[in-house]
Amino acid sequence: MQERRFKDQIYEHVARIASAANSPRRLEMLEVLAQGPRTVEALANQAALSVANASRHLQVLRQAGLVEGRKQGLFVEYRLAELEVFDLVRLLRAIALRRLADVERLVRTYLGSRDELEPVGRKDLLERVCSGSVVVVDVRPAEEYRAAHIPGAVSVPLKDLPRRLRQLPVRKEIVAYCRGPYCLMAFDAVRLLRNRGRRARRLVDGFPEWRAAGLPVETGAASEP
């Protein structure tokens, strides 16, 4: 009986994690927080929620130990309780893609037509960064770049790309990356670059996956192309 009670209690606590992740909006919020800290207002805007609803979702995640809140001046910034929390999102996403036909069909239909060339793998990109044979462009918002980014990447938020295109070298291939495999910013950046005559591809996934793979990262202010 003691063993049964022990197992029941353990799995009850584990189930709290699963329950907290049982929401599309909360999974999206965890993926956004994998880019860097956010206020509840910023998360609400990103997830298309009211501030009140975003706050309720954050409380569920906080009670499950998945996020933490820290006072920063007049605001509270939320962040992942540990970087490994993103592994939960990544694993759920990968299993859904492999096991649920609807997910595979959505990805193939919606994203497959947007990418004419094979994406660049992480290890391939690291080698090319080290050799200086490629220009890596981070098209996420600048605050996400400052929180952490791929070494050597330049910050060119997607909204600024058209006016800053001339700052990018003409002869080198450009590899764009953003928040993850389902983030459209890198797709849009590659399309714009190709339409302007540049050789461009995207990273196969995004910055959180790069960091989760144990590859090197940098922090700090945006560098110029």
**CB atoms near residue 94 (< 10 Å):** 11
In the annotation, is 183 catalytic? Answer: no
Q: Which residue in 178, 183, 190, 203 is the catalytic one?
A: 178
Q: Which two tokens stand for residue 204?
A: 């196969």
What is the number of H-type helices and E-type strands within the chain?
A: 11, 7
Burial class from Cβ neighbours inside 10 Å (0-12, 13-18, 19+) for residue 60 reads middle
Beta-bridge mates of residue 134: 173
Q: Pairing relation of β-strands 173-178 and 200-206?
A: parallel
Nearest CA among 149, 150, 213, 205 for reference residue 181: 205
CA dist list (Å): 174 to 104, 128, 171, 202: 28, 11, 9, 8
**CB atoms near residue 184 (< 10 Å):** 14
Residues recognised as catalytic = 178
